[in-house]
Every structure is written in structure tokens, then in C-alpha cells.
């Protein structure tokens, strides 16, 4: 699996929104940013600078100093402390190249801070709040990346819970809910979890397709929709179902609009990596591109 840290590199926190009915029509209503990714990074700039010099222990000490300095019984102070924990958790996995020998160590430390942040947000907002859902989603991906080919049960549990809460708070007809279903589909569809079981692979495939159709149904937000189809196809190839992957591309690629050619490019590359050159040529021919 190609390590793709999507949310971890650019997280924004969310504000409370009204909870729509799960049967509501697709809308363009999304949760609002409370704090930008840039501001999150700025909160832990000192520790980030230390991480740049591979000074992990010193960075941790600086984070704890910041949290202590911001300590106060006020709600604002508690929120600042929670934000600091999450900001540092987000920065840790991207502080090193993905193939660095200390990457696993940094990720394990990130999980410690991510879990502390989640507990802090639950304490502040209660268990059912968009900021809790976002932090839970981020933590699910962090846990996934500790073993991308066979994500731990904790990753599945966090992804399932964040998706269920997103459905409750935002409804099915929502891009953020579709995104969380896509994450869940990716985690449960990894070969180390499916172990070739047809029912498990088909369950992941159904989740991916629902996420794609839910996302495509929202009229104002199609940015990123190609990733849903690409990860669906990648899952099928990784589970040694290349022919089914091509059939899925033919059946669903019209839903991703202008992303279709880019998805085809990535898909063909994935097929070639798996040794399926003839199928890769077929995919390129379907979109009128030259073989790669």
C-alpha cells in the first residue's frame, strides 16, 4: 500500500452544525472551520522546529510546557490545550520521510498525543460533536498507518464509530460522511484484513461504491471524488481481483467527471505494478490515452 497521509497533513477543526435527517436530500451545507491548518501548526511551531532537527524528546518536553502554560479551568484554555495535543499529533507523522527508520517510533508517539486529544475533546464537547468526529477520523488513519497492509482492529473501530457519528450529525447526503465511509472501506479492504475472503472484499467494495455515489450526489463539492474511485480500484487490485477492478472502472468512472483520466492514469500504474500489463493497456485505451 502506498502511504497516503491525507488528513494528517492538512487538518482543520470543525464547529457544531445542525444534525440533518439521514434521509435528507444532498445539500451543500458543510461544517465550518474553527481553526485553520496553518494556525494549528503555528500553535506548536517550537516543537515542530525541534522535530525538524530530529529532537523528539525535546519536542515532547516543549509541548508539555506549552500545555502547562495554557492550563486554566476556563473552557477556552481547555480547548487550547486539546488543540495543542492534536496539532502535535498531526505534525509528528509528517516530520520524517515515510521510509525513515524512525517513522514507526514517531507514529507511535503521535498516537499517544492523538488519543489524549480525543479524550480532551470528548471532555469539552461530549461524545457526539463534529470536532470529536474529526479527531476520531484522524486517529483512525494514524492507527491504520502503523500497519497499512493489515490495519489493527482499533483503526476499524475508530473508523466505524466516526462514520456512524458523521451520519448522525451530518446525514448520509454529505461529503464529510462520504469521506469517512471511504476511509472505513479502505481500512477493512486491506489484504491483511480480508485474507482473500470474498465476502470481506465485497463488503469493502460496497462501502466504496456507496461513498462514491453519496459524494457524487452532492452538487457543489466534487473536489477529491476521484480518490474514492482510485482507492476502490486499488483495493481490488491489491486483493488480486484485477478483472473486477477494470469492470468497476468501466461501470463507475463516469461518476468522477473530469477526474476520470487522472484516475485511469493511477489505476493503470497500479495494474502494471501488479504485473497486469494487458489490463493496464485496456484501461488506457478506454480513456484514449497512450499506454504508460
Identify the band that residue 182 occupies on the pLDDT scale cut at 50, 70 and 90: very high
Q: What is the mean pLDDT of residues 106-122?
A: 96
Whether residue 139 sits in one domain with residue 203? no
Give the model's pLDDT for residue 35: 85
Q: Is the residue at 180 inside a domain?
A: no
Report the pLDDT value the prediction gives residue 33, as an integer from 0 to 100.
72
The span from the CA of 165 to the CA of 186, in Å, is 18
30 band by pLDDT with thresholds 50, 70 and 90: low
Is residue 27 classed exposed, middle or buried when 0-12, 13-18 and 19+ CB atoms within 10 A define those classes?
middle
Same domain, yes or no: 1 and 142? yes
In DSSP terms, which residues pair with 35 in a beta bridge? 13
Last residue of a domain, one of 90, 120, 148: 148
State yes or no: pLDDT of 249 exceeds 50.
Answer: yes
Q: Which pLDDT score, from 0 to 100, does residue 189 have?
A: 98
Regarding whether 120 and 57 lie in a shared domain, the answer is: yes
pLDDT single digits (tens) 1-29: 444 444 443 344 444 444 444 445 555 55
Q: Which residue has the higher pLDDT, 50 or 34?
A: 50
- Domain match, 131 and 200 both: no
Nearest to 1 by CA among 151, 200, 102, 131: 151
The residues with which 14 forms a beta bridge, in sequence order, are 33
In a domain, 95, yes or no: yes
Q: Does 285 score more than 60 pLDDT?
A: yes
Distance CA 263, CA 274 (A): 17
- Identify the domain boundary among 91, 116, 148: 148
Indicate whether 158 belongs to any domain.
no
Based on the fold, state whether residues 100 and 2 are members of the same structural domain.
Answer: yes
In a domain, 43, yes or no: yes
Q: Are 2 and 143 part of one and the same domain?
A: yes
Number of domains, the chain: 2
To 10 degrees, what angle do helices 75-91 and 130-145 make? 20
Please report, for residues 105, 139, 166, the alpha-carbon distance to residue 112 in angstroms, rounded to integers and kept in the order given. 11, 10, 24
Q: Would you say residue 160 lies in a domain?
A: no
Q: Which helix (H) or strand (E) holds 13?
A: strand 13-14
Measuring CA to CA, which residue among 129, 130, 116 is closest to residue 12?
Answer: 130
Say whether both 138 and 245 belong to one domain. no
Residue 96 lies in a domain: yes
**274 in any annotated domain:** yes
pLDDT at residue 18, as a whole number: 40
d(CA 26, CA 214): 8
Rounded mean pLDDT, 178-183: 96
Distances (CA, A) of 267 to 56, 205, 215, 260: 38, 16, 20, 10
Any domain includes 181 = no
Percent helix / strand / coil, the chain, rounded to 5:
70, 0, 30
User: Per-residue pLDDT tens for 55-92?
Assistant: 999 999 999 999 998 888 899 999 999 999 999 999 99
> What are the cell numbers at 47?
516543537
Q: What percent of the chain has pLDDT over 70?
A: 86
User: Is the pTM value of this prediction over 0.85?
Assistant: yes
Q: What are the pLDDT digits (tens) for 124-137? A: 999 999 999 999 99
Residue with cell 446525514: 171
Structural domain range at position 210: 189-292
Residues 139 and 11 in one domain: yes
pLDDT at 290: 52
CA distance 268 to 260: 12
pLDDT at 153 over 50: yes
The pLDDT of residue 34: 82
- One domain, residues 235 and 135: no
- 16 and 127 co-located in one domain: yes
> What is the DSSP code string of 21-75?
-TTPPP----PPEEE-HHHHHHHTHHHHHHHHTT-HHHHHHHHHHHHHHT--SSH
Residue 202 shares a structural domain with residue 143 = no
Minimum mean pLDDT among 2-6, 30-34, 97-101, 140-144: which range? 2-6
Q: Mean pLDDT highest for which of 31-45, 66-80, 227-241? A: 227-241
Amino acid at each position: 500500500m502506498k502511504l497516503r497521509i491525507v488528513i494528517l497533513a492538512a487538518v482543520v477543526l470543525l464547529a457544531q452544525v445542525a444534525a440533518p435527517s439521514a434521509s435528507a436530500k444532498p445539500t451543500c451545507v458543510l461544517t465550518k472551520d474553527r481553526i485553520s491548518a496553518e494556525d494549528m501548526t503555528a500553535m506548536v511551531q517550537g516543537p515542530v522546529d525541534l522535530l525538524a532537527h530530529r529532537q523528539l524528546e525535546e519536542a515532547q518536553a516543549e509541548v508539555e510546557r506549552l500545555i502547562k502554560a495554557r492550563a486554566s479551568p476556563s473552557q477556552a484554555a481547555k480547548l487550547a490545550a486539546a488543540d495543542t495535543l492534536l496539532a502535535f499529533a498531526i505534525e509528528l507523522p509528517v516530520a520524517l520521510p515515510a521510509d525513515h527508520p524512525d517513522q514507526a517510533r514517531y507514529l507511535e508517539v503521535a498516537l499517544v498525543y492523538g488519543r489524549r486529544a480525543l479524550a480532551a475533546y470528548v471532555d469539552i464537547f461530549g461524545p457526539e460533536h463534529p470536532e470529536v468526529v474529526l479527531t476520531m477520523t484522524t486517529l483512525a488513519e494514524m492507527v491504520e498507518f502503523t500497519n497499512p497492509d493489515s490495519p489493527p482492529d482499533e483503526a476499524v473501530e475508530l473508523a466505524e464509530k466516526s462514520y456512524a457519528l458523521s451520519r448522525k450529525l451530518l446525514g448520509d447526503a454529505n461529503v464529510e460522511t462520504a469521506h469517512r465511509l471511504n476511509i472505513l472501506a479502505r481500512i477493512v479492504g486491506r489484504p491483511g484484513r480480508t485474507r482473500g475472503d470474498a465476502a470481506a472484499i465485497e463488503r469493502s467494495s460496497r462501502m466504496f461504491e456507496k461513498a462514491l455515489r453519496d459524494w457524487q450526489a452532492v452538487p457543489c463539492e466534487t473536489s477529491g471524488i476521484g480518490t474514492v474511485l482510485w482507492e476502490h480500484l486499488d483495493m481490488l487490485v491489491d486483493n488480486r481481483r484485477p478483472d473486477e477492478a477494470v469492470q468497476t472502472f468501466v461501470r463507475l468512472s463516469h461518476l468522477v467527471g473530469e477526474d476520470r483520466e487522472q484516475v485511469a492514469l493511477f489505476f493503470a500504474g497500479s495494474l502494471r505494478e501488479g504485473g497486469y500489463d494487458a489490463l493496464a493497456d485496456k484501461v488506457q485505451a478506454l480513456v484514449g490515452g497512450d499506454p504508460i
